[in-house]
Structure 1
Amino acid sequence: MNRRRFLGIGAAVVGTGAIGAFAAPSASRLLAEGRPGRLLSSAVPLPAAFQVPLPLPPVLRPVRSDGTTDYYEITQRTARLEILPGLRTEAWTYGGSFPGPTLAVRAGRQSAVRHRNELPVPSVVHLHGGHTPADSDGYPVDLLLPVGGGGARAAQGTGGTAGMPGMPGMPGTAHPADPSAVLVGRTADGERTYTYPGRQRAATLWYHDHRMGFTGPGVWRGLAGFHLVHDDEEDALPLPRGERDVPLMLADRAFAEDGSFSYPALDATLAVPGVTDDYMTGVLGDVILVNGAPWPRLTVDRARYRLRLLNASNARLYRLELDPQPSGGDALVQIGGDGGLLETPLAHDAVEIAPAERFDVVVDFSRYAPGTTVRLMNRFGSDRTAEVMLFEVSSRTVTDDSAVPERLCTLERLDPAAAVTTRTFGFRRSRDNVWTINNQPYEPGRSLARPALGSTEIWRFFTDVHHPVHLHLNSFQVLSRNRGEPGRYDAGWKDTVDLRPAETMEVLVRFTDYPGTYMMHCHNLEHEDMAMMADFVVE
C-alpha cells in the first residue's frame, strides 16, 4: 500500500467511522525486526547521563473531602518544561508537570477527579488498572472538549487540530455497521468528573490520555501520571515506605532541534490519526526519561527501597537489570504487579516489562559497599538506550526497620472450572496489513464479546508479533503460555501481559460490579491508534 493510497483510504475511513485502514508493515519486515518499534533519533545533542537528580512527581491533595469521597481537581494544559538541560519543551500536561501529579488514594474511599481541559485538543482520561464504572473508564470517544472549544464543533476538528472529523461517537455520527443507529459519545464541554469508587486492593496504577486515534501522541507529549492505591493489608507489612517508596515512570522520547517533542505523526496538525510508514510497528525514542528526567541519578541509603516500575513508553520493551549485581544475585525482589501484592516475593536478576506493565520491586542497597554507583540497565536497549538511571549508595549510617516477609498476602485464586466459556482473540495483521483483533479493525460500538456480570471466563490470546494486551475493568490471572506454565513475569493479578511473537496465552477473568462497554487493546500505542482495539460489553 503506497502512501497516496494510504492517505486516501484513511480520509475515507475517518469519514465512515472506522480506523482500520491504517497499514502495517509487511510480515517479512516485522519478523526480521523481532521486537516492535523503530528508533526516532533526536535532532539535538543528547545530554550526558546521570547528571540530573531524579524528580518525584508532586502528590495531589484533595480540594475537599466528605464521609465517603475525596475530591480532586486537575487542569490539563500546555507547559514549557526544561526536560533536556538548557532547552524548553512544550508538553501537554496534567497540572503543568510531566509526569502529572500523583494521586495517592485509599481503597474503600471514592475518588472524584474533576478534569478541566485547557489543551488545544480534546482528551479522554483512562485510569489504567482501575476498577471503574463504564462512564468513568475513559472510553476513547467519550471526549472532554477544550474549554471554549465550541462544543461539538471542537470534536469535528476546529482548525484541523482539535478532533477526529466524522469518527463514530461524535455527536450525530451513525454507526458504520448500522446507519440507523446514531452513536453519541459522552462528550463534555470543558470539564468532566471521573468517579473511581475505590473497590480494589492496593496497587500501582496510572492515568493517561485515551483519545481515539491519538493516544500515542497524547502520551508522548506528556499526558501520564501515577495513581497509587493504598490499603490496610499492605500498610500492615514492614515494606519500605516514605522516602524509600519511589515511583519510577520509564518513558523514551525524541526531541526536535528546537527542543520540542519529535513524533512522526502522519499529519503534523493531528487532524488525521496515524504515523508515517516507517513507524507503524511503534515509535522508539533515543532519550530514556525517568519521571520526566533524562538518565537521572538518585542518592540512596544503604537500606531497602521499594521501586514502583512503570513502563509508560509507547512501544519500547525493557529488560531491567542492576549493574553491578549484588553478590549472590536476585537483586530485584518482586512484591507486586499490575493488580497489587503477590502472594509471596519473587526474586529476579532482571525484570522484563512491556508497555503499561508495572512491577513493584524491593532493592536492598545495603548489599553494596558505601559509595558504590549502581546503574539500572536496559538489556533490550543499545547505545544510549541501554542505560536508564543511576543509584549512588550513600556512605552515611542509617537505620532500616523494613523487611520483605516470606508471605505478603493471601490471593483469591480463580477456578478454571468455574469458567462459563472460553473465547479466543487473535492479535495480528490482516491480509491487508491492518492491525486487528480477530481480523477486525476497531469500530466503537461493535463488541467482540458480551460476558455476563459476575461470570468467569477464559480468554485465549494469540499473536503474530509482540503485543502487550490490556483489559479494562478487571484484572485477570494467567493460566498458561503456549499450553505450559505461566511465565516468570505473569504472577499475581495482571491487567497487561506481553504476548511474544507466535505465542498463545490463556487468562482467567471475572467480570464484577459494573455493567457497560469496556475495551481490550494492544498497549503498543501506535498499534492501538491504528485499530488494534475491541469493545466488550458486560451485561
Structure 2
Amino acid sequence: MRRRRFLGVGAAVIGAGAVGAFGVPPAARLLAEARPGRLLTSEVPLPEPFRVPLPVPPVLAPVRSDATTDHYEIVQRVAGLEILPGLRTEAWTYGGTFPGPTMVARAGREVVVRHRNELPVPSVVHLHGGHTPADSDGYPVDLLLPAGSSADHAAHAMAGMTGMAGMAGMSGTSGTGTVGRTVVGERSYTYPGHQRAATLWYHDHRMGFTGPGIWRGLAGFHLIGDEEEDALPLPRGERDLPLMLADRAFASDGSFRYPSVDPGLTVPGVTDDYMNGVLGDVILVNGAPWPRVEVDRAHYRLRLLNASNTRIYRLELDPQPADGGALVQIGGDGGLLETPIRHDAVEIAPAERFDVVVDFSRYPPGTSVRLTNRFGSERTGEVLRFDVTSRPVTDDATVPERLCTLERLDPGAAVTTRTFGFRRSRNDGWTINNRPYEPGRVLAAPALGTTEIWRFFSDVHHPVHLHLDQFQVLSRNGGDPGPYDAGWKDTVDLRPSEGVEVLVRFTDYPGTYMLHCHNLEHEDMAMMADFVVE
C-alpha cells in the first residue's frame, strides 16, 4: 500500500494555495492544523459536565423476519426530549429518540427498513458506509414527503433549492433514469448486506438541508456483525459501547439553535458567518451532555462515531495509562483492521468511525478517566468520563495481534486516475472541480467491476465521503498514508492544502451515487458531485 511518489497534482492544477502542503514549509504546516467552523454559543446556562449518565441507544427489533430478510419500521417524527437537564428540546427523530434506534444486522442477511415521515419537512435516508443499490442509497433529491402531503408539496420542497448556485436546472439522471424519486408518506430502503462487519450509521441526506436535519436529531447507528468478527475474543454485550459524538447549541427556549438563512427550511444554507461550518458549545455523547459511565476493570470496545456537522476531535484519555497506547484501534469505517494500532490519541473528522478497545484494568479502582478533546477548549475540551469501579469482574476479552486478513487493492490494476479538487469558489460557494452541485450532472462514470485511483485535494479542511464502495488510502501528500488511514474507509480527512490518493473498486450495483464533503455546511452549499457506475 506504499507509493513514495509525487501525486502528480502540480501547482497549475491545485492552485498556489496548495503548493505548500507538498513542499511543507513551516507556514503550511501551521495552516494544515487549522480546523473549520465558527462557534455558535448557547443562550441557556450549560450543565456541569459528568452529571448525566451515559444513555445507550435502544436496539430496534424487526417487525418480522423470514429466511433471508429482516424487516424493520421506523417513524420519523417530532419529539420533545430532555437533552439539557430541566429543559425540553424539540427534536426531529427516528422513532422518538436521539440518537435513533440502533439497527443490528448480519452480513449476508438482507435488511428492509420502511420509513414513515411524520416530520414537517421532506426527508431522505442514507446508510452511511452501506454497500447499497442506487435506489436505496439516499440520493439527495429522492424525497420522502410528509404523510398526507399533496403533490404541490414536492414542488414547494424543491423551490428553495433552485436558488442555490448550479441547482436551477434540476435535469439529468439518477439511479432509475430521472432526477428525484419523490414519494409521499412511506418508503422502503433495501440493504442487501453484502459487506463485512462494520460500524455504520444512518442519517438524513436531503439536498440542501442535511446540516439542519442531522443537527436536529436525524442520526442513528447501524451495526453489522459477521462470523469473522464473532470468532475474535473482543469485548461484547454491555462492554461494547456505541458512542455518537455530536456538538450542538441551544436557544433560550431549549430548542436546537442553528444559523439557517431560512428558519422554515425551504431555502438552504446558513448565514455568512457560518459558511465554513457550525460548531456547538455543548458536546453530546449519545444525545447526553458530557455524560459519565461506570466501567469495570476490564476491556471495553468503544465504537466512536463523529456525527458532528463540522467539529473535528482529537480524542485522548486523561490520565493516560503509565505505558501509553490507551486507545487500541481494531477497526475503522469499513470494519476490522488486519492488526491493531495502539494510539495515545485518535483524530476523528465528521462521519468517520474508529473502533477502539480500552483496557480499564490498567487503572486503579476509583479512578475517573476523562475522554478529552484536545482540539477543543474549555467546555468543548471535555467529552465523557469513565468511572472505574472496584467490583470484582471476569474478563476474558483480549485484542489479538492479528485480527483478520484484508484484501489489498492493487494500484497496478487501476484502469484510470481521476482528480477532484475541493475548493471554495468566489461566486459559487463550495465546489468540486470548480463546479457547484447540480443533480444529474455526472462528474465520473467508472465501469462496474473496475478499480480506479481517485485523487482528492483541498483548499481548507474537507472530510471527503464516497458512497457505494469503501476505499483504501494509497498515499497522503505523495508519501505514506497517515496514522488514521488504515483499513477500508468511506471518509477521508483532508487537511488544508493537502492531497490524498485512494484506491476504489466499484462493485455489484450500477447507478448514480455521490461524492461529497461531509462538513455538512459545505455539503449543503453545493460541495457534492454525482458519479455513475455503468
Q: Aligned partner of 1:112: which letter?
A: V
Residue 432 (structure 1) shift: 2.6
CA distance in 1 between counterparts of 2:328 and 2:335 reads 14
- SS of residue in 1 equivalent to 2:489: coil
Residues 450-529 of structure 1 mapped to structure 2, 5 A cutoff: 450-529=445-524
Matched, 1:211 2:206: yes
What is the match of residue 127 of structure 1?
A: 127
CA gap of 1:33–1:68, structure 2 versus 1, over 3 A, is: closer
- In 2, the alpha carbon distance for the partners of 1:174 and 1:214 equals 18
Letter in 1 for 2:44: V
CA distance in 2 between partners of 1:183 and 1:166 (Å): 17
Q: Shift of the alpha carbon at 1:153?
A: 1.4
> Residues 244 and 164 of structure 1: is their aligned pair in 2 closer, same or farther, counting only changes over 3 Å?
farther
Structure 1 residue 31: Cα displacement: 6.5
Task: State the aligned residue count.
Answer: 499
3-state SS of 1:397 partner: coil
Letter in 2 for 1:206: W
Report if the CA contact (8 A) 1:331-1:348 is conserved: yes
CA distance in 2, matches of 1:250, 1:59: 18
> What residue is the counterpart of 1:446 in the other structure?
441
What residue number does 1:254 align with? Answer: 249
4+ runs deviating over 6 angstroms:
30-33
Distance in 2 between residues matched to 1:242 and 1:135, nearest whole Å: 34
Instruction: Quote the Cα distance in structure 1 between the aligned partners of 2:155 and 2:387.
Output: 51
The offset of 1:156, in angstroms, is: 2.3
1:107-161 deviation line (CA, Å, top 9, x unaligned): 00000000000000000000000000000000000000100011x311223xxxx
Q: Secondary structure at the match of 2:153?
A: helix
> 1:166: how far off?
6.3
Q: 1:257 to 1:32 in 2, by over 3 A?
A: farther
Query: Separation in 2 of the partners of 1:32 and 1:106?
Result: 40
Q: CA RMSD in A?
A: 1.7
Structure 1 residue 244: deviation in Å?
A: 0.2
Deviations along 1:178-201, one digit per CA (max 9) or x if unpaired, are: 9xxx95411111000000000000
Rounded to whole Å, the distance in 2 between the matches of 1:175 and 1:314 is: 26
Is the CA contact 1:156–1:166 (under 8 Å) kept in the aligned structure 2?
A: no
1:348 paired residue number: 343
C-alpha deviations, 1:229-272, integer Å up to 9, x for none?
00000000000000000000000000000000000001111110
Aligned to 1:310: 305
Counterpart for residue 80 of structure 2: 80
Is this contact kept in 2: 1:175–1:183, CA < 8 A?
no
Output the CA distance in 1 between the equivalents of 2:75 and 2:286: 19
> Which residue does 2:410 correspond to in 1?
415
Partner residue of 2:290?
A: 295
Normalising by the residue count of structure 1, what TM-score does the alignment of the two structures yield? 0.91
Equivalent position amino acid for 2:291 in 1: P
| Deviation digits for residues 316-348 of structure 1 (CA, Å, limit 9, x no counterpart) | 000000000011000000000000000000000
Query: Structure 1: which amino acid aligns with 2:316?
Result: E
Confirm or deny: 8 A CA contact 1:174 1:183 kept in the other structure: no
**2:385 matches 1:378:** no
For the Cα contact (< 8 Å) 1:156–1:165, is it kept in 2? no
Q: Does 1:334 align with 2:329?
A: yes
Structure 1 residues without counterparts, runs of 5 or longer: 1-29
Q: Given residue 142 of structure 2, which amino acid in structure 1 is its aligned partner?
A: D
- In 2, distance between residues paired with 1:115 and 1:396? 43
Paired with 1:245 and 1:218, the residues of 2 have a C-alpha distance of 28
Residue identity opposite 2:138 in structure 1: G
What's 2:67 paired with? 67
Amino acid at match of 1:377: T
Distance in 1 separating the partners of 2:478 and 2:502: 11
